[in-house]
């Protein structure tokens, strides 16, 4: 049912519609021989469970909801044992149900996510977006495993086509972060839209879908504000 090979200890995967649209991004943690925990974003657990239950036929498995609180701890291993989390562009692990007081606010965490170029459901991921446009194929899709829902359109695009837009990180001039759906303009033409934005220190950063014909190093206009490309942060191996 999932887009990646989950036989190892931990991987990212997608639960997709037959047309290759994302139902939920997942981090699959193999806790035991036949025990898998599918970690997903808040509010998506019921949808994931229901899709898997509808697909369960002649299969001897149990599918149940689990609710956990999640804390992200930054630092180089082995600072603390946990589930590796690359979503924020720096070494980090995720701890479940840990009683720790936060030292970063939600706005700071959101800025780190944006700087890492990590897509989020309801912002960068919705029914309009293909996984390849959001950069999800490289981290969450296997082309050598068995069949899964959505495999055909994902593989067809990968081997025979190309996306029309990609997710890009921008530094935006201005006083306030641009709201979602703010138009991105290049040489007088609308070429994309903002999906997320935040303040990071003394600068504004945003994720936006931009058409591929726009050079990656091109300066653009976001709303009325000039913007320039940034390289997304990546965690060390």
What does the alpha-carbon distance between residue 105 and residue 82 come to, in Å, rounded to a whole number? 21
Query: pLDDT value at position 14?
Result: 98
CA 32 to chain CA mean position, Å: 26
What does the alpha-carbon distance between residue 149 and residue 117 come to, in Å, rounded to a whole number? 26
Q: In a 3-state reduction of DSSP, which class is residue 9?
A: coil
Alpha-carbon distances of 127 from 23, 36, 138, 169, rounded to whole Å: 8, 27, 20, 21
Query: pLDDT value at position 234?
Result: 66
Torsion 223-225-229-231 (CA) sign:
negative
What does the alpha-carbon distance between residue 165 and residue 149 come to, in Å, rounded to a whole number? 23
Query: pLDDT value at position 60?
Result: 79
The model scores a pTM over 0.75 = yes
Q: Which helix (H) or strand (E) holds 108?
A: helix 106-116
pLDDT, tens digit, 9 for 90 and up, residues 177-210: 999 999 999 999 999 999 999 999 999 999 999 9
Query: pLDDT value at position 235?
Result: 56
Domains and CATH numbers, the chain: 10-67+114-160 (3.30.70.1400), 165-230 (2.40.30.110)
Alpha-carbon distances of 236 from 75, 79, 83, 84, 134, rounded to whole Å: 11, 15, 15, 12, 21
206 token code pair: 């945003």
State the residue for tokens 């390289």: 231
Low-confidence ranges of the chain (pLDDT < 70): 58, 77-79, 234-237
Query: pLDDT value at position 202?
Result: 93
Query: pLDDT value at position 146?
Result: 86
What does the alpha-carbon distance between residue 113 and residue 61 come to, in Å, rounded to a whole number? 35
Which residues 6+ apart lie within 8 Å of 70 measured at CB?
A: 39, 94, 95, 96
What does the alpha-carbon distance between residue 147 and residue 2 come to, in Å, rounded to a whole number? 9
Query: pLDDT value at position 237?
Result: 41
Hey, how many other C-beta atoms are within 10 angstroms of the C-beta on 232?
16
Query: pLDDT value at position 201?
Result: 93
State the residue for tokens 């509010």: 43
90 token code pair: 């720096």
């Amino acid at each position: 049912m999932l887009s990646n090979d989950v036989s190892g200890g931990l991987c990212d995967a997608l639960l997709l519609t037959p047309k290759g649209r994302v139902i939920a991004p997942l981090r699959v943690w193999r806790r035991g021989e036949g025990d898998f925990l599918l970690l997903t974003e808040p509010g998506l657990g019921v949808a994931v469970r229901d899709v898997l239950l509808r697909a369960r036929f002649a299969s001897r498995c149990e599918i149940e909801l689990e609710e956990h609180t999640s804390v992200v701890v930054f630092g180089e291993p082995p600072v603390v044992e946990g589930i590796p989390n690359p979503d924020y562009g720096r070494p980090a692990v995720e701890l479940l149900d840990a009683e720790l007081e936060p030292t970063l606010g939600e706005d700071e965490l959101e800025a780190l996510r944006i700087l890492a170029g990590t897509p989020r459901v309801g912002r960068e991921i919705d029914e309009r977006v293909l996984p390849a446009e959001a950069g999800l194929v490289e981290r969450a899709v296997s082309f050598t495993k068995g069949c899964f829902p959505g495999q055909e359109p994902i593989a067809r695009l990968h081997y025979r086509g190309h996306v029309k837009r990609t997710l890009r990180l921008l530094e935006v001039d201005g006083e306030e972060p641009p709201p979602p759906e703010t138009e991105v303009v290049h040489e007088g033409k609308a070429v994309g839209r903002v999906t997320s934005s935040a303040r990071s220190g003394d600068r504004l950063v945003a994720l936006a879908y931009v058409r591929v014909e726009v050079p990656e190093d091109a300066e653009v206009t976001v709303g009325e504000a000039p913007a320039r490309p940034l390289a997304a942060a990546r965690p060390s191996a």
